[in-house]
Amino acid sequence: MAERIVTGEIIERLKQLAGASNVLTDESMSLHTTFRVGGKAAAFVMARDESSLKAVSEYVSSEKIPFFLAGNGSNLLVSDSGYDGVIIKLAGDFEEIKVEGTRIIAGAAASIIKTAAVAAEHGLTGLEFASGIPGSVGGAVFMNAGAYGGEIADIIIEASTPDGAIKKQDLELSYRSSVFKKNGRVITGAVFELQQGDNSSIREKMEELKNKRLEKQPLEYPSAGSTFKRPEGNFAGKLIMEAGLSGVNVGDACVSEKHCGFVINKGNATADDVYKLICLVRDKVKEHSGVTLEPEVIMLGDFEKL
Ligand SMILES: Cc1cc2nc3c(=O)[nH]c(=O)nc-3n(C[C@H](O)[C@H](O)[C@H](O)COP(=O)(O)OP(=O)(O)OC[C@H]3O[C@@H](n4cnc5c(N)ncnc54)[C@H](O)[C@@H]3O)c2cc1C
């Protein structure tokens, strides 16, 4: 068996840097992903303030220990063999949401749903689209999350990182992508510029979008939302349905019959089941329509190339 990268010595050092109660070992990632699958992270560290984030990131970088920033795990598939590295999750101070006039300053660990609710409370319009996206502000910025005609790029002014703020024009925001996919930096927060609006129409809009989701999406099952990116001029769900894949399964991983764009976990799926199903769907859709679907879901750990 290969030697483990994350040794007891590394765990002890992480405990000194982040506080013992903020370091979990052999933590099942099924508890931290909305797919509810995935193996163990050798170390799972909650960074609750700037200083512990700085100390932990400097340590793992200088020692060349593999690390990964997890948000709410709502777009994440971790392999069954887990991750022999350090998962860093922001918490505490990074969950703060402040309102300054028409601006919202949110920590990266704040829920984007909660941020949208705070905006609504203050009569600020522009974040309604995000009110059903179960991610963190950090994950939403990283992915340039969007729905129903809105996306983070429409409202963000800047994102903060431990090395300073990055202005919108340098965030390289495009469909489900940002500069963070390339630069690997930690997002610690974001500033959103909204518009003064009418409280009741904001709430109405949010209610309408919630009902649309409930009607169209299999929210009763664990998933990571849309499994694939929308291909140019088409819809992944439509292509998957037309390829006859509605309800197709590998183990307990299944193409939702309610919305073919979602791979769902019907109970006891493994990450391997999900991954094999993703590959099967990709291949069958390519065969049927000639379109190559690209996963939107971020994969972490070892997956056999299929
Ligand atoms: C039911 C359901 C519905 C969904 N609907 C939508 C939708 O309508 N629109 C949409 O765009 N998405 C949707 N999603 C997908 C998902 O919620 C979004 O992509 C979300 O933005 C991911 O945020 P997260 O915090 O969960 O990130 P994670 O899944 O934890 O991570 C995603 C990526 O972001 C990176 N990341 C996270 N936080 C940070 C940080 N602080 N610094 C640097 N990198 C970071 C991670 O390293 C990873 O690469 C849906 C998911 C589900 C389960």
How far is it, in rounded angstroms, from Cα 70 to Cα 49? 16
Mind listing the pLDDT tens digit for each residue in 123-134? Answer: 999 999 999 999
What's the pLDDT at 306?
A: 75
Confirm or reject: Cβ of 225 under 6 Å from ligand 1.
Answer: yes
Are 114 and 176 contained in the same domain?
A: yes
Q: 81: alpha, beta or left, given left = phi > 0 and alpha = psi -120 to 50?
A: alpha
Instruction: Using the predicted structure, report yes or no on whether residue 36 has a pLDDT greater than 90.
Output: yes
As for how many domains the chain has, the answer is 3
Confirm or reject: Cβ of 138 under 6 Å from ligand 1.
Answer: yes
* 122 found inside a domain: yes
Q: What is the pTM of this model?
A: 0.98
Are 40 and 121 contained in the same domain?
A: no
DSSP 82: -
Are 69 and 109 contained in the same domain?
A: no
Mutate to test the pocket of ligand 1, among 137, 143, 235 (most ligand atoms within 8 A of CB): 143
DSSP line for 196-228: E--HHHHHHHHHHHHHHHHHHS-TTS-EEEESB
Are 33 and 124 contained in the same domain?
A: no
Return the CATH number at 281.
3.90.78.10
Mutate to test the pocket of ligand 1, among 76, 115, 137, 142 (most ligand atoms within 8 A of CB): 142
Confirm or reject: Cβ of 106 under 6 Å from ligand 1.
Answer: no
* 101 found inside a domain: yes
* 257 found inside a domain: yes
Mind listing the pLDDT tens digit for each residue in 254-292? Answer: 999 999 999 999 999 999 999 999 999 999 999 999 999
Confirm or reject: Cβ of 73 under 6 Å from ligand 1.
Answer: yes
- Residue 89 Cα to ligand 1 midpoint, Å, equals 13
Reported confidence tier of residue 305, pLDDT bands at 50, 70, 90: confident
Q: Whose CA is nearest to atom 33 of ligand 1?
A: 139
Helical packing angle, 112-121 and 199-216, nearest 10°: 150
Mind listing the pLDDT tens digit for each residue in 216-251? Answer: 999 999 999 999 999 999 999 999 999 999 999 999
Instruction: Using the predicted structure, report yes or no on whether residue 191 has a pLDDT greater than 70.
Output: yes
Reported confidence tier of residue 1, pLDDT bands at 50, 70, 90: low
Average pLDDT over residues 105-114: 98
Are 164 and 201 contained in the same domain?
A: yes
Confirm or reject: Cβ of 297 under 6 Å from ligand 1.
Answer: no
Instruction: Using the predicted structure, report yes or no on whether residue 3 has a pLDDT greater than 90.
Output: no
Reported confidence tier of residue 44, pLDDT bands at 50, 70, 90: very high
Owner of token pair 């399964």: 249
Are 109 and 130 contained in the same domain?
A: yes
Return the CATH number at 71.
3.30.43.10
Return the CATH number at 208.
3.30.465.10
Are 203 and 249 contained in the same domain?
A: no
Confirm or reject: Cβ of 38 under 6 Å from ligand 1.
Answer: no
Are 232 and 193 contained in the same domain?
A: no
Residues labelled as active-site residues: 176, 226, 296
Instruction: Using the predicted structure, report yes or no on whether residue 34 has a pLDDT greater than 70.
Output: yes
- Residue 105 Cα to ligand 1 midpoint, Å, equals 19
* 267 found inside a domain: yes
Give percent of the chain above pLDDT 70: 100
The two beta strands, 83-90 and 67-70, are: parallel
* 106 found inside a domain: yes
Are 208 and 226 contained in the same domain?
A: no
Tell the burial category of 244 from Cβ atoms under 10 Å away from its Cβ (0-12, 13-18, 19+): exposed
Instruction: Using the predicted structure, report yes or no on whether residue 2 has a pLDDT greater than 80.
Output: no
- Residue 9 Cα to ligand 1 midpoint, Å, equals 32
Average pLDDT over residues 171-185: 97
Tell the burial category of 39 from Cβ atoms under 10 Å away from its Cβ (0-12, 13-18, 19+): buried
Task: Identify the domain containing residue 234 by its residue range.
Answer: 218-300
Mean per-residue pLDDT over the chain, rounded: 97
Are 251 and 271 contained in the same domain?
A: yes
Average pLDDT over residues 91-95: 98
Query: In 3D, which of 63, 64, 61 has the Cα closest to residue 53?
Result: 61
3-state DSSP call for residue 75? coil
* 306 found inside a domain: no
Helix (H) or strand (E) holding 125: strand 124-125
What's the pLDDT at 54?
A: 97
Average pLDDT over residues 200-206: 96
Are 100 and 198 contained in the same domain?
A: yes
* 3 found inside a domain: no
- Residue 12 Cα to ligand 1 midpoint, Å, equals 30
* 137 found inside a domain: yes
How far is it, in rounded angstroms, from Cα 218 to Cα 264? 8
Are 237 and 293 contained in the same domain?
A: yes
DSSP 169: G
- Residue 173 Cα to ligand 1 midpoint, Å, equals 15
